[in-house]
Amino acid sequence: MSAPTIDQPTTTATGPGPVREGAFGNARSLVCRECRHEVDLGPHYACPECFGPLEIAYDFPVVTREEIAAGPRNIWRYKALLPVPTDIEQSPNTEPGFTRLLKATNLGAELGIDNLWVKDDSTNPTNSFKDRVVACALSAARELGATTFACPSTGNLANAVAAAGARAGIRTVVFIPSNLEQPKQVNSAIFTDQLVAVNGNYDDVNKLASEIAGEEEGWAFVNVNVRPFYAEGSKTLGYEIAEQLGWRLPDQIVIPVASGSQLTKVHKAFQELIALGLVEDKPYRVFGAQATGCSPVSIAYKAETDAIRPVKPDTIAKSLAIGNPADGIYVLDICRESGGAVEDVSDDEVRAGIVLLARTEGIFTETAGGTTVAVTRKLVETGQLDPALETVVINTGHGLKTLDAVSGIVSAAATIEPSYDAFRATGLGA
Amino acid sequence: MSAPTIDQPTTTATGPGPVREGAFGNARSLVCRECRHEVDLGPHYACPECFGPLEIAYDFPVVTREEIAAGPRNIWRYKALLPVPTDIEQSPNTEPGFTRLLKATNLGAELGIDNLWVKDDSTNPTNSFKDRVVACALSAARELGATTFACPSTGNLANAVAAAGARAGIRTVVFIPSNLEQPKQVNSAIFTDQLVAVNGNYDDVNKLASEIAGEEEGWAFVNVNVRPFYAEGSKTLGYEIAEQLGWRLPDQIVIPVASGSQLTKVHKAFQELIALGLVEDKPYRVFGAQATGCSPVSIAYKAETDAIRPVKPDTIAKSLAIGNPADGIYVLDICRESGGAVEDVSDDEVRAGIVLLARTEGIFTETAGGTTVAVTRKLVETGQLDPALETVVINTGHGLKTLDAVSGIVSAAATIEPSYDAFRATGLGA
């Protein structure tokens, strides 16, 4: 095994050298999403022919529901459908996934949706869906012989990479903007003594990461040079929803859109399950959710154009604040072709969405989840989402990480002296 | 169904009135832990004969591993062993449990333990083991016809009650000390608009809760008048550990001690599994973990006495800071009879325990978990725990809730300008 190097999109990448047999499971190659050109599996992310994004192509064997059900209670139950080796459970990782799919009767009543579910990824090991993608990136890093595991991030990804790297016992370096709030720094620094604060914004940090990936030997940046492997982890959200519904697809699904990767991968997961005969082929509508302060995909959707113009983010939904979303065009395709839509909501609506989900279902979501709930409400109100159809909403992260977003709008109902009389005076008695 | 009322320990409590058939599953009665007197199932917690604590007694049917394995992936897979109805999955609850049991090879190497596991309850719905006990209390409250669900708490319990009450759609009132840090208030206020801040310390809040329970109709205080039902939820930690180990008991287990309830219930769970033939009967050692600043049980253990003298807590491990632990005497019994021990560690050791668990296994624990890890280290160093035997450590909660404990001791390794040269100068390159 040799070390991964920076992608060389101007040549046909052939991988970093020999890897062990079965290192990537049933994955066959990297295929360009645009021109379908295939290259060998390796630390590459852009097509050498057309610069389009590379994603994993597979030669799937027959996969049965029973085989999956007999697997572990985490994402590795779907290992046959991921670019990971068959012995993936043997190598230390955070064992994410198989999170709750909750019937959301109360929220459904509030939104006017008859049959609503919430897929709650806030209970993952580091409290966001990023644990799924990072687990797949970690496997690729390991199989490619990487010696350093790394990412640029402002939040959830940093937590997930730092935790996974610690558990795997691989050197882990996480790059963050130096002005990041101290609690968020602690939540990564707790896992690694190699947290690097960079004087600059996220774009500066990201640029530095790409430079390091190009210069240093053996660095696997989860969202740069092993991105195709990383992104596949989001498919497990789709697999789990289908399995937890009793091996069937929902009629409608609402997914937050940052880069757009998660939405495209959930759709890919549904398509794979249909192709493998694991679920019945049926139509489903895919909806994308953005915050108005960073809604380039929603803007393009509403303008009925494919041209996504980058925006400068200005929203409290920071985990969705990607102004130039790499997979935005594919989000548009999927939402349009499936009969879905892309919608956006204001920051006040995001806050209200957080409180609504907490008060109705006991789930404390971060701003991304507030966005998704608020968009779902708007989709019903505008007639874009059919309230009579079975609908799944994805909650991607935990409110403890974005406490500031709601700390001004929820508080104690009363402050009293410690006496029964004082309590009675509040009117809160039965 | 009538409403639960405050326990009347001077009379033989007969329950609050008719409840539906099977409301408490296979539970038979409430039995006194001291004198074995039995009373009918109801909202009672103290023996009418001797004032001893009441706990649930059962008439268990035959229960098979297969039946359990076919159940849901949460604590209700053990519903036959809990005081809940057979249709418990049908009533909205947070669906806690079946959290990760992680092989902790790195932590084991640090501590010198060959075969170590961490049971990680930080990934429960509100990020602590309290979701387990609250789910059982909620079922009891519902079956007893309670109209208000409530608790006094400073932290984890408040979160769990507020979230569970929201999802169940029952009126939920949570009492906290008014000087509680604002982030902790937000983490409960997000779920309920009936959070009551009380000018006083936790003891004042607790006393007020008992008074309300005695005066108001239909209030179920999870840790007061439905406490025996509530406490049974901790057994599921024991069941899960055994099932996740492949239906066998570990040789040693280290459990944090606040009231002592969790430790006694994990032991009860192991005994039930043996009695039911679900695991092989074998010896196991139980260890209790306290912070030195609130270590009444550890003090008594070391003094070789049964007399537990209440202490005034002074430790950062606030979720363990119960100065007069109700089940302390039973903890002493279990730890002594099983060949275990009770040990305590300083606040600095607690902080080091938090960092150690994060850096070795990617788990961010709260101060209680830091206490348990640090005590485990001390038990090895003092020869009280056998490093050659299979050992399980329980992590009960999440570090995001006690960020202050470590925010002063972990930080970025370097702060740099956004350039590759600046990065090279840190010495963090490969």
CA distance A329 to chain B (A): 30
CB A84 within 8 A of CB A24: yes
In B77-121 the beta strands, taken as DSSP E runs, fall at 100-103, 116-120
Token pair belonging to A85: 């080796």
Interface contact B417, partner A, CB < 8 A: yes
CB contacts under 8 A, A 39-58 vs B, are none
Nearest one of A330, A250, A267, A256 to A294, comparing CA atoms: A256
Question: For all residues of chain A together, what is the average pLDDT?
Answer: 93
- Residues in B closer than 8 angstroms to A196, CB to CB, are 412-416, 423, 426, 428
CA distance A341 to chain B (A): 29
CB B2 within 8 A of CB B224: no
DSSP string, B5-29: ----TTS----SS---TTTTTTEEE
* Residue A13: per-residue pLDDT: 30
Distances (CA, A) of A217 to A6, A16, A145, B407: 9, 11, 10, 33
Q: Find the closest chain A residue to B186 by CA distance.
A: A407
The helices-and-strands tally (H runs, E runs) of chain B is: 15, 14
Interface contact B68, partner A, CB < 8 A: no
Interface test with A, best of B66, B167, B212 (most A CBs within 10 A): B167
CB A87 within 8 A of CB A72: no
- Answer whether B412 sits within 8 Å of A178, measured CB to CB: yes
> Which of A183, A199, A362 is nearest residue B163 as measured by Cβ atoms?
A362
Question: Which ranges of A51-104 would DSSP assign to H, the alpha helix?
Answer: 65-69
Interface contact A212, partner B, CB < 8 A: yes
* Residue B377: per-residue pLDDT: 98
> Cα–Cα distance between B56 and B33 in angstroms, integer?
9
- Answer whether A198 sits within 8 Å of B147, measured CB to CB: no
Q: Which range is least confidently modeled, A12-21, A67-76, A354-363?
A: A12-21
CA distance B36 to chain A (A): 35
Nearest one of B102, B183, B122, B160 to B370, comparing CA atoms: B122
* Residue A430: per-residue pLDDT: 60
Share of chain A above pLDDT 90, in %: 87
Q: Find the closest chain A residue to B127 by CA distance.
A: A123
Distances (CA, A) of A52 to A31, A46, A47, A406: 9, 6, 5, 40
Interface contact B371, partner A, CB < 8 A: no
DSSP string, B289-330: EEETTB-HHHHHHHTT-S--------SS-GGG--SS-TTHHH
Tell me the count of A-B CB pairs closer than 8 A: 250
CA distance A92 to chain B (A): 8
> Cα–Cα distance between B428 and B430 in angstroms, integer?
7
Nearest one of A92, A329, A131, A151 to A233, comparing CA atoms: A131
Interface contact B419, partner A, CB < 8 A: yes
Q: Which residue numbers in chain B have pLDDT < 50?
A: 1-17
Distances (CA, A) of A397 to A235, A238, A291, A305, A430: 17, 16, 15, 31, 35
Interface contact A416, partner B, CB < 8 A: yes
Burial of B421 (0-12, 13-18, 19+ CB in 10 A): exposed
Share of chain A above pLDDT 70, in %: 96
DSSP state of A290: E
CB A397 within 8 A of CB A128: yes
Over residues A103-119, mean pLDDT = 98
* Residue A296: per-residue pLDDT: 98
For the stretch B346-363, pLDDT in tens is 999 999 999 999 999 999
| Residue B224 neighbours by CB under 8 Å, 6+ apart | B6, B45, B209, B210, B213
Interface contact A195, partner B, CB < 8 A: yes
CB A418 within 8 A of CB B208: yes
Amino acid at position B369, single letter: G
Over residues A8-17, mean pLDDT = 36
Buried-state track B220-249, b at ≥16 Cβ within 10 A, e below 16: bbbbbbbbbbbbbbbbbbbbbbbbbeeebb
- Confidence band (pLDDT; 50, 70, 90) for A246? very high
- Confidence band (pLDDT; 50, 70, 90) for A12? very low
For the stretch A267-280, pLDDT in tens is 999 999 999 999 99
Query: Which residue's entry shows tokens 């730092």?
Result: A162
| Residue B425 neighbours by CB under 8 Å, 6+ apart | B416
- Residues in B closer than 8 angstroms to A186, CB to CB, are 403, 406-407, 410-411
Q: Find the closest chain B residue to A103 by CA distance.
A: B92
- Confidence band (pLDDT; 50, 70, 90) for A363? very high
- Answer whether A148 sits within 8 Å of B430, measured CB to CB: yes
Over residues A98-104, mean pLDDT = 97
Q: Find the closest chain A residue to B159 by CA distance.
A: A362
For the stretch A370-384, pLDDT in tens is 999 999 999 999 999
> Cα–Cα distance between B181 and B310 in angstroms, integer?
26
- Is the pLDDT at A8 greater than 90? The verdict is no
DSSP state of A322: -
* Residue B430: per-residue pLDDT: 60
* Residue B106: per-residue pLDDT: 98
Distances (CA, A) of A87 to A269, B104, B175, B368: 22, 18, 49, 34
Interface contact B425, partner A, CB < 8 A: no
* Residue A386: per-residue pLDDT: 98
CB A137 within 8 A of CB A233: yes
Burial of A271 (0-12, 13-18, 19+ CB in 10 A): middle
| A241: helix, strand or coil | helix
Q: Find the closest chain A residue to B216 by CA distance.
A: A430
- Answer whether A403 sits within 8 Å of B187, measured CB to CB: yes
CB B37 within 8 A of CB B31: yes
CA distance A143 to chain B (A): 18
- Answer whether A362 sits within 8 Å of B419, measured CB to CB: no
Token pair belonging to A391: 């609908």
CB contacts under 8 A, B 88-147 vs A, are 92, 94-95, 98, 100, 102-103, 105-106, 120, 123-127, 147
